[in-house]
Amino acid sequence: MTDIDKAPAGPLLDPEEARRLRAERLESVGKWFLPLAIMAFAILMWDRIVVWNEIPKYILPRPGVVLETLWNDAGLLFSSLLVTLRITFLGLLLAVVGGVGLAVLFAQSKWVEMSFFPFAIVLQVTPIVAIFPLINIYVDNQTAKLLLCAWIVAFFPILSNTTLGLNSVDRNLRDLFKLNGATHWQQLRYLRLPAAMPYFLGGLKIAGGLSLIGAVVAEFVAGAAGQSSGLASRIIEAGYRLNAPRLFAALFLISLTGIVIFLVLTLVSHLMLRSWHESALKQER
């Protein structure tokens, strides 16, 4: 037998490298398996608690009853979901346009930022349920009322994060652009906006969930008089009728919608940053 025949079929992994690969495989499996396992256990315990304590379904329905109601009332609930989603995404779109536009204006003038930023803070810290009675007086259109509430809640994270990103550019890079004769708008386009992109996307993930919260809260306030047809009004209606299964089904749809919005925006952020920004690059261990 020759020396070549005695050679191993492939290169042997270093023990440290093998340990790292095993840890990565476990982590990739665990980040999906553990949350699903814990969620399944929580649902099982919910079902068992209802059975063991013989809780009537108008107080706490079993998970199976909630899913059955979700299926039977799908037409009603999903049509209401579309109303809530329309307000949510329109509010988020307006928050992006207004927040980024105002942040760019702030970046061009410190005096403008110092003059108007406190008003944005006032909008952020004032509860939407306290503002809605005024909106109800001054705005006639019902959709516009809900849209304004969703916009107010989602606006500040976009504005503050984008402003922070525009102001966090490396001073040495700014000086380099100035030495090469770049105008303010050239600096904004080629330096400050790309540098602010991770901050903007972080604010967008926050604002996505907040716009849904703003839409639902506004529907709660407006829907108390039966004027709204979103999911919040279905929850109010189900509460009045002691229809707990429908109430839980509507809550499930709201929660699922918030999770999907967050996951989609997280994916968008990853796709936009994965080729160049440290936060999205694969970290070495």
CATH at 164: 1.10.3720.10
> Do 218 and 150 lie in a common domain?
yes
| 129 part of a folded domain | yes
> Do 81 and 166 lie in a common domain?
yes
> Do 146 and 192 lie in a common domain?
yes
pLDDT of res. 51: 93
How many structural domains are present in the chain?
2
> Do 210 and 232 lie in a common domain?
yes
Q: Select from 257, 259, 265, 202 the least CA-distant residue to 84.
A: 257
pLDDT of res. 222: 78
- Measured in degrees and rounded to the nearest 5, phi and psi for residue 33 equal -70, -45
| 78 part of a folded domain | yes
Counting DSSP H helices and E strands in the chain, the numbers are 12, 0
> Do 28 and 146 lie in a common domain?
no
> Do 163 and 92 lie in a common domain?
yes
pLDDT of res. 227: 46
Q: Select from 269, 251, 162, 145 the least CA-distant residue to 205.
A: 269
Q: Select from 265, 103, 114, 95 the least CA-distant residue to 196.
A: 103
Q: Are 110 and 170 contacting, i.e. CB atoms less than 8 angstroms apart?
A: no
> Do 28 and 160 lie in a common domain?
no
> Do 188 and 243 lie in a common domain?
yes
Neighbours of 7 (CB within 10 A): 8
- Rounded to the nearest 10°, the torsion over CA 179, 184, 187, 188 is 170
Distance (Å, whole) CA 219 – CA 106:
33
pLDDT of res. 226: 46
| 5 part of a folded domain | no
pLDDT of res. 273: 86
SS3 assignment, position 141: coil
Q: Residue 20: which domain range? A: 10-52
SS3 assignment, position 224: coil
> Do 90 and 34 lie in a common domain?
no
| 171 part of a folded domain | yes
DSSP assignment, residue 56?
-
At 108, list the tokens: 């061009």
Q: Are 166 and 107 contacting, i.e. CB atoms less than 8 angstroms apart?
A: yes
> Do 34 and 154 lie in a common domain?
no
pLDDT of res. 24: 77
| 3 part of a folded domain | no
Residue 85 parent element (H or E): helix 74-108
pLDDT of res. 285: 44
Neighbours of 199 (CB within 10 A): 20
| 4 part of a folded domain | no
Residues in the chain, pLDDT under 70: 1-13, 223-228, 277-285
> Do 135 and 269 lie in a common domain?
yes
Distance (Å, whole) CA 196 – CA 211:
22
SS3 assignment, position 150: helix
| 285 part of a folded domain | no
Residue 22 parent element (H or E): helix 15-53
pLDDT of res. 109: 84
Distance (Å, whole) CA 141 – CA 253:
26
Distance of alpha carbon 209 from the chain centroid = 4
| 282 part of a folded domain | no
> Do 48 and 69 lie in a common domain?
no
Distance (Å, whole) CA 168 – CA 191:
11
